[in-house]
Amino acid sequence: MEQKSKPSQEEAVLVQHAQRSKITTSRRSFLRRGLAVGGAGAIGTGLLAHGVPVFAEERSRDLTSGDIAILRFLSAAEILETDLWQQYNELGGIQDSEVPGGSGSPGYIAALQVLDGDMPQYIHDNTEDEFTHFTFINAYLVSKGADPVNLDKFRTLPSSKATGAQQIGRLTNLMQLSVDTSYWTKYRSRTQNPDFGDTFPPAIPGLLKGQFPAIPRNDGDLKGFKPGANPTIPKHLQAIANTAGFHFAFIEQGGTSLYPSLAQRVSNPEVLRILLSIGPTETAHFQTWQDKAGNAPALTDPTNGLVFPDLNASGSEDTQTNLIMPEPTIFLSRKFPPVSIIRPTQTEGAAMGAAKALTDDGLFIGQSKEFFAVLQQLAEAADAAHR
Ligand SMILES: [Fe+2]
Ligand SMILES: [Fe+2]
């Protein structure tokens, strides 16, 4: 959401921009003069007189409007990510000074721990990472005289009523998800690539055929849970935790593609550095979650018929659970040998693609028309950016 500022503030920002570009222009002409005087030696060492490093000056030059649009879309995406991860952390993570809010749901945590005993820690750490992503990008935008992103007015969706969740307005809905698990087969294929137009079957087809909760919606979703050394976890509750497990990887593989896709259209080297430094943390998250989702027990949810199949039963590499490192596949052209890569990384329409994927996921069910308009506006601006 564009942060609404009073006309006087907008004017101030415009004046700031104008002043900054003047400063930049004079700095550049100084650099050009310096280079002309300094000659090849100065270029070779990257230094001007007075010890001013040429390349550092170049790196700190102003951002293009495209750079700002890309950063603003990423900030919005990170705010949305933070909102959903916060909901997971309140019920299934660790609530502390780093990630405050909520008090945990013992039943949900026990079901998540069937996937891995460390799930609460990982959920906590992923949540904290997302918080730092948008906070950093917004602070960077402000430092360059650009508007940060603030979506607070869209925090209107209900919280889970389950014990342990805060009762506050949310940006995202984790209770009606249709999770696309085609990332599973996409990263295991050795012959196909989404950038070539290839499509991939979902590992858990049932998750695309309805709307399912990834957090307990209320205490009724925890019915039948008995704590203890060998807790009793009803199948419905385990299905909710399984859905979360696959959803974690869905979200993070999206970020894994989004950053390299947008990086190709960044102009400023420092902005490029930001994208190249944040993007791989999404990949680190994805890798972890993919491994954990592979431990989700096969079951059928008796309340809605959602099936989690045994992914190793077919013997196919396309669903094998421990193939969590990207299989090599085709890239750029079939004339090249297969290579292990992130996929997709096609840059055209990457921001709109990400917005659509999050929308199709059901995350924004209940959001206002204005919310979708703002998201689309941010995505379109980012996709219009070019070098
Ligand atoms: Fe992130
Ligand atoms: Fe992420």
Instruction: Tell me the C-alpha distance between 60 and 54, whole Å.
Output: 10
134-157 pLDDT, tens digit each:
999 999 999 999 999 999 999 999
Interval between CA 157 and ligand 1 midpoint (Å): 21
**Residue 18 CA to ligand 1 centre (angstroms):** 32
Q: Are 46 and 138 in contact (CB under 8 A)?
A: no
pLDDT in tens, 107-128: 999 999 999 999 999 999 999 9
Cα 321 to ligand 2 centre (Å): 21
Reported as a single tens digit per residue, the pLDDT across 18-66 is: 444 433 433 333 333 333 333 333 333 333 434 444 444 444 458 999 9
Ligand (nearest to CA of 275): 1
Residue 150 and residue 172: Cα distance in Å, rounded? 15
- Could you report the per-residue pLDDT of 364-376, keeping only the tens digit for each? 999 999 999 999 9
CA of 361 to the centre of ligand 1 (A): 17
SS3 state of residue 30: helix
Task: Output the CA 130–ligand 1 centroid distance in Å.
Answer: 4
CB proximity list for 224: less than 8 A, separation 6 or greater: 232, 234, 236, 237
Residues 6+ apart with CB under 8 A from 114: 233, 238, 241, 295, 296, 297
Q: How far is the CA of 366 from the centre of ligand 2 (A)?
A: 23
Kindly tell me if the per-residue pLDDT of 158 is higher than 80. Answer: yes
Average pLDDT over residues 236-261: 98
* Cα 120 to middle of ligand 1, angstroms: 18
269 CA distance to ligand 2 middle (Å): 23
pLDDT for position 333 = 97
Could you tell me the distance, in angstroms and rounded to a whole number, from the CA of residue 252 to the centre of ligand 1?
Answer: 8
The percent of the chain in helix, strand and coil, each rounded to the nearest 5, is 55, 5, 40
Ligand closest to CA 76:
1
pLDDT at residue 16, as a whole number: 44
Taking CA atoms, 55 is separated from 30, 211, 278, in Å, by 13, 52, 22
Decide if pLDDT at 161 tops 60.
yes
Centre of ligand 1 from the C-alpha of residue 365, in Å: 21
89 close to 211: Cβ distance less than 8 angstroms: no
| 216 Cα: distance to centroid of ligand 1 (angstroms) | 24
Q: What is the mean pLDDT of residues 349-360?
A: 98
Q: What is the Å distance from ligand 2's center to 285 Cα?
A: 7
Which pTM value belongs to this model?
0.85
Say what the pLDDT of residue 385 is: 98
The pLDDT value recorded for residue 61 is 58
Q: Across all residues in the chain, what is the average pLDDT?
A: 88
CA of 98 to the centre of ligand 1 (A): 16
Number of the ligand closest to the Cα of 131: 1
Distance 126 CA to ligand 2 centre (A): 7
Ligand nearest to the CA of 75: 1
Quick one: pLDDT at residue 62? 86
Predicted pLDDT of residue 104: 98
Ligand 2 centroid–CA 223 distance in Å is 31
Of all residues in the chain, what percent carry a pLDDT higher than 90? 84
Q: Which ligand is nearest to the CA of 286?
A: 2
Ligand lying closest to the C-alpha of residue 252: 2
Mean pLDDT of 182-209: 97
What distance in angstroms lies between residue 77's CA and the mean position of ligand 2's atoms? 9
pLDDT at site 32: 35
Average of pLDDT values for 245-261? 98
Ligand number with the minimum distance to the CA of 274: 1
Q: Mean of the pLDDT values across residues 70-82?
A: 98
In the predicted model, is pLDDT for residue 172 greater than 70?
yes
